Amino acid sequence: MDCHYCGAPATTKDHIVPISYNYSNRPKNHRSRGGETVDCCHECNSLLGAKALFSVEERAHEIAECLERRYKKELKAPVWTDEDLAELGPSLRKQIKAKQFLRDEILERVRNSVSVAQGLLERALPLWSLS
């Protein structure tokens, strides 16, 4: 199964209303009941923790913002063309390709989180399929 928020492999469940939250103090207009869960990866579940967010959309929006903050450096990395990479030695080229792969994976996770936050039913397309 995949994480409902970012699309990474799911290893845990996220409680839409955190277990630790005092249910008598939750807002009257929230859309979740205490027992609702979604499949979630460990990182997204850890980022959300016990934050008082009461809908999947709110939680997905928070995930997108947290992932952007956490991976700010990786997301700002330049995109190298094949011509640029061809000029480099094999060791450096391998390192840069690995960083570009990581950047693409992070961007896809952020895009998936934004799609869920916006209430879209379909997951975002992988970035490399858009060109």
* pLDDT score of 72: 94
- State residue 119's pLDDT score: 81
Q: Which residues of the chain have pLDDT under 50?
A: 32, 121-131
What are the start-end ranges of the H helices in the chain?
42-48, 56-70, 72-75, 82-86, 90-117
- CA gap 106, 34 in Å, rounded: 30
Residue 37: how many CB atoms within 10 A of its CB? Answer: 14
Q: According to the model, what pLDDT value does residue 86 have? A: 94
pLDDT number for residue 96: 95
pTM: 0.77
